[in-house]
Amino acid sequence: MAKLPILSGLEVVKALSKIGFVHVRTHGSHAILNKQTETGKVTVPVPLHHELAKGTLKSILRQAELNVDDLVKLL
């Protein structure tokens, strides 16, 4: 398993866009991304900070149903 990288919110938005997430709106300092799946709609808020905290990034990955290796491949 790869080490969790240090990423900005914009880098995470770009990576998630590659797997079908669509930026639907910005609310304050958070980008709201949606993806339609077979089981329903997945909504992931991403803070647009210069550096995301590790716990925040882990939460985003869990919501997007990704692991660290998948994220590293998308970068």
Q: Is residue 41 part of a domain?
A: yes
Give the pLDDT confidence score for residue 3 in this predicted structure: 86
Q: Which domain covers residue 57, as residue numbers? A: 9-74
The answer to whether the Cα torsion of 43, 13, 17, 64 is positive or negative is negative
Instruction: Say whether pTM exceeds 0.85.
Output: yes
Q: Is residue 1 part of a domain?
A: no
User: Tokens 């149903």, residue?
Assistant: 65
Give the pLDDT confidence score for residue 38 in this predicted structure: 87
Q: What is the pLDDT of residues 13-47, one digit of tens each?
A: 999 999 999 999 999 999 999 999 888 899 999 99
Domain count, the chain: 1
CATH code where residue 14 lies: 3.30.920.30
Average pLDDT, the chain: 92
Q: Among the residues of the chain, which ranges form H helices?
A: 9-17, 54-63, 68-74
Ramachandran angles phi, psi of 29, nearest 5°: -105, 20
Does 52 have pLDDT greater than 80? yes
Q: Is residue 3 part of a domain?
A: no
